[in-house]
Structures are given as C-alpha cells and as structure tokens.
Chain A
Amino acid sequence: MSAVSERPPAGSDTRRPRASPPGIAATVGALLRKELLVELRTLESVPGMSLFAVTTFVVFHFALNQNTVSGDEAAGILWVTLLFAAMLGVNRLFVADQDQGGFDAFLLAPVDRSAMLLAKALALFAYLAVLELVAVPAFGLLLLAPPLGQTLPDLLLVLVLADLGIAVIGTLVAALAVQTRARDLLGPLLALPLLVPIVIGAARASSPLLVLAHPAEVGGPPIRWLATLALYDLVFGLIAYAVFDFLLED
C-alpha cells in the first residue's frame, strides 16, 4: 500500500523529478531513532510507567491483603498493572508531535505515511519492554509466590506477543485521541475494550506459568492462547496499517 507516488502529501508539490525518496525502512529507522533519542533525553514516559507499575503492586498488596499471589490471581494483577502503565505511555505518544508541529513536518516529507505508524509502534514496544524489565522482576520480588526463573523464557514469549498487540493498538488509539480535546481520557477509554482480547490471551497464557509447581511438572503456556495473541496482533496490525493514513491527512 503505497501512498508516495499516488497521493502527494497535503500542501506540498512533489511532482518535480528528484532522486527516489527514502525507502520505508530508512524512514522508520530515522523516525524511531528520533523517538528514542527524545525519550532518552526527556525521560518523560518510561520512568513514569515503571514507577507506576511498582507502586501499583504495592497498592495491590494492601488492597488484596495478601503477601503472595500465584496462578490466575498473579496473572491478573500483573497484566492489569502492565496494561494501565502502558496507558500512561500511550497518552504521551503523540503529544509532542501534536503540540510542536511534528505532524506537519512529517506530512511535508515525501515518504510513506505508514512509516510513522511503524516507528511509533516500535517505540511504544521499546517503552513496554523497558517497563517490563522493571515491573516483572519487581512483581517477582514483591508479590509473586513461585520463583520466576524456571518459566521465564515462556513468560518472555507471552510478554513479547502481548506487547506487540498493545503497541499497535496503543499507537492507533493515541493517534485518534491526540487531536481531540479530552485526549488523556479518551485514549484509555478507547484502548481498553480493544485490548480485552489481549488481556484474555496474555492472562490465560501466563497463568500456568506463575504457579507453584515442581520443576518436572512445569508445562509450557497453552498454545491456544499464544495463537490467539499472535492472530489478534496480526489482524490488528493489518487494520492499523490500512487505516492510519487517514488519520494523518490535513
């Protein structure tokens, strides 16, 4: 789906002959580098998200009045916390672009607009990865009954699959919400129902991984849920890709 040769970006004349515009990979790379650099310098999303997650675990301890959790409960607490922390990141994803004119600059460039979707989604994925680097060990330390070590690889797989979905949906919703007046409220409201299938898949998949069991009995996560996650990620990725261009027009 190419927008470069068929539809010139609004407000610019790209019909003059020039060297071929940068391919989508290069564009995504440049945008992603910018995103990560900005985040590294301003540190406005990731530390907040991580701190929020750890604090939420503490709140859960008091709310549930339990010292340790395992199984379904543990999966539930972990995923709810990760989800709400992700919402914080989603809220901030496009704010800088919106407020400082980054959108206009991007629209004037003769590049495929889906590059922004890919770059932002990858950036959000990176933020989620760092979030989980902090949150999952914290969870293991504070609330989790069984040790994390034995099921860690499987848990990582679940995390990656779920993060892909959260990244795609989060980017799409962030782009939708950033232009509205109540963007901080609408973002999570839009995202959470869309993320329910991911919560279903992730929680069901990680629940057997967070259970006290003998090392010999530890089985892998049910394939059914991993497949659900992967399929959902794929379908939503395609939808987001098809629809994202329309959000960036001016």
Chain B
Amino acid sequence: MTVLATSIPGSSNNGYVAAAYIVFFAIILIYVAIMALRLTRVERSLRELDEREQHARQEETHQTRERETV
C-alpha cells in the first residue's frame, strides 16, 4: 500500500486516506448486498405464500362443489 501511496503525486499519505474511504464504502456496499440477498429471499417466500393460498382456495371450492353434488 505504501508503494501505491507514494506513486500518486501530491503526498505520500494519499494511500492511507484512500484506503480509509474505500473501507467505508466497502462496508456500506457489503451491507446493501446482504440486504439485497434478504430481499430476494423475502420475495421468494411471498411467491410461495401466494401459491399456497391459491392452492388452498382451489381446494376449498372443490370441496364445496363436492358437498353440493352429494
């Protein structure tokens, strides 16, 4: 990192400043990525829930129809 730092014109400490700010943004980005993963999981379970509800409703209408015919 010190090689990087001294290669940038201006100051030998550029590398450290850049590293600090990069770490900051990296943390934010990692957090956003984790939240995105969780969101996809939530969406998937929502879809499953919808399917299950539809299935349950279909079952109910089948059952009521059967009862009517009997």
A and B touching (C-beta < 8 Å)? no
B positions within 8 Å CB-CB of A: none
A positions within 8 Å CB-CB of B: none
